[in-house]
A = this chain, B = another copy of it.
Amino acid sequence: MNMENKEMTRLAFECDYSEGAHEKILEALTQTNREHLTGYGMDAYCARAKEKIRVACHAPEADVWFLVGGTQTNKTVIDSVLARYQGVIAAESGHIGTHEAGAIEATGHKVLPLPHSDGKLEAAVLAQYLSDFFRDENRDHMVFPGMVYLSHPTEYGTLYTKAELTAISEVCREYKIPLYLDGARLGYGLVSPGTDLTLADLARLCDVFYIGGTKVGALFGEAVVFPKGNAPKQMMTIIKQNGALLAKGWLLGVQFDTLFEDGLYWTISEHAIRMAERLREGFREKGYTFFKETMTNQIFIVLDEDQRERLEQFVSFSFWERLADERIVVRFATSWATEETDVETLISLL
């Protein structure tokens, strides 16, 4: 293959889904390529991967389902859990309310936005909202909260601590509202020094969450975990109805089986965090303005148009948002695939 284009000659820090899969995964897919396997996730690789995930979560009863991508997963999980008259609470910055093209509303459910603190929902804000809602004399005319959605890391790269997630979980349980955690970047979010949370904590504190593969070493794939065996009835049919049932389901099983073999998921996540720390150091040294202080694999920098133009010549990054003063926020992301030499080259060019 020999596709020449601008994308391929620049340094790539645009996002954490710019490359294929970790070599071990590619190898596993290659080795299993000609096996004859049962479709729709009924194969032995899926079974083994699910078992490894149960062990990693300390959740022997967990129901595990493999889906292809993040929006698809959010849409399917949320729709599967909510009753008709319920919506899902999310931070105003939550991915489901901002950058999923109305996928949740397309299933008939409202996203109920709450103010956030650097992308995080606060237990006190949630508790106040729920308390107000259930005291509101007009609530029969309103969308009932039926789920709480968090992302970890958040859309701003911030992290919940164990204390914070415990507090949110307690509010949810007081109101009998399921807690759902979007783990599109879960690996990066758990190995970061910015949190003391573990996978087992999530399994204990959440009612459902997903372990992101697409951005953490897999070609694609997300593992949804209902830790108490609490998946909705006919989950497979619901997944199919959402267009989310992969015919060759074992492709997901083989990948998660590999990711959860010998801690690969954690090793590659740690690499990404190390690369991000080095890059943050570089930005700091060169005097750049950080939009948010983060400790994960995403770095948000404020640029003016001149800076943007200059940087775009040698590195790709993502537009994030425009500030009131017309400067823009951009995102640099590291990942399992980031090369140390690329980080150093980038720093030298900043």
Binding site for B on A (CB under 8 A): 1, 3, 5, 7-8, 10, 12, 14-15, 17-21, 23, 26, 28-40, 43-45, 48, 68-73, 75-76, 79-80, 83-85, 87, 98-103, 105-111, 113, 132, 135-138, 140-144, 214-215, 219-220, 233-234, 236-238, 240-248, 251, 254, 316, 319, 321-322, 337
* CB atoms of B243 and A103 under 8 A apart: yes
Nearest chain B CB to A231's CB is how many angstroms away? 12
Which 6 A/B pairs are nearest by Cβ-Cβ distance?
A: A72-B243, A12-B36, A20-B33, A101-B240, A102-B143, A101-B241
Chain A binding surface SS class: loop
Nearest chain B CB to A270's CB is how many angstroms away? 20
Number of copies of chain A assembled together: 4
Measured in the bound complex, the distance between the Cα atoms of B248 and A214 in whole Å is 8
* CB atoms of A98 and B142 under 8 A apart: yes
Measured in the bound complex, the distance between the Cα atoms of B19 and A33 in whole Å is 6
Nearest chain B CB to A226's CB is how many angstroms away? 16
* CB atoms of B101 and A105 under 8 A apart: no
Residue from B5, B102, B107, B140 in contact with A85 in the complex, judged by beta carbons closer than 8 Å? B102
Nearest chain B CB to A38's CB is how many angstroms away? 5
* CB atoms of B20 and A32 under 8 A apart: yes
Nearest chain B CB to A232's CB is how many angstroms away? 8
Nearest chain B CB to A151's CB is how many angstroms away? 15
* CB atoms of B113 and A243 under 8 A apart: no
* CB atoms of B68 and A79 under 8 A apart: no
A-B contact pairs, 21 of them (CB 8 A): A1-B32, A1-B35, A17-B248, A20-B29, A20-B248, A21-B33, A68-B246, A69-B245, A69-B247, A71-B240, A76-B243, A79-B84, A99-B141, A100-B241, A101-B241, A102-B108, A102-B241, A136-B322, A137-B319, A138-B319, A140-B240
